Amino acid sequence: MANTKSARKMIRVAERRRQRNKAIRSAVRTFVKKAERAIYTDVANSTESVIAAIRALDRAVTKGVLHRNNAARRKSRLMKKLNRAKAAVAAS
């Protein structure tokens, strides 16, 4: 247990930050899952959901929840899936 007043305060601050980060991270995961589901089901209209997921990732980076390279990697993978799906539809 924390001994000093400042240490007790930092425990409270860390808990508030953890709750905030948890909500943002959960929202990002939801957006990415929705985008991936849209890519696999309806390629023609999946661009909007991918853009929303990318926006959520960028917002998480701005708030300091995700590292910028982590978000860049996730965006890259999402775009790669979208482009492959569009190419498959165009080829068939």
Phi, psi for residue 42 in degrees, rounded to 5: -135, 90
Give the model confidence (pLDDT) of 5-38 as tens digits.
999 999 999 999 999 999 999 999 999 999 999 9
Look over the chain and give the mean of its residue pLDDT values, rounded to a whole number.
95
Residue with tokens 């390279």: 69
| Structural domain harbouring 14 | 5-91
SS3 67: coil
56 burial level (CB within 10 Å; 0-12, 13-18, 19+): buried
Domains in the chain, number: 1
Q: What is the spatial distance between Cα 7 and Cα 22, in angstroms, rounded to a whole number?
A: 22
- Is the pLDDT score of 1 beyond 90? no
CA 44 to chain centre: 22
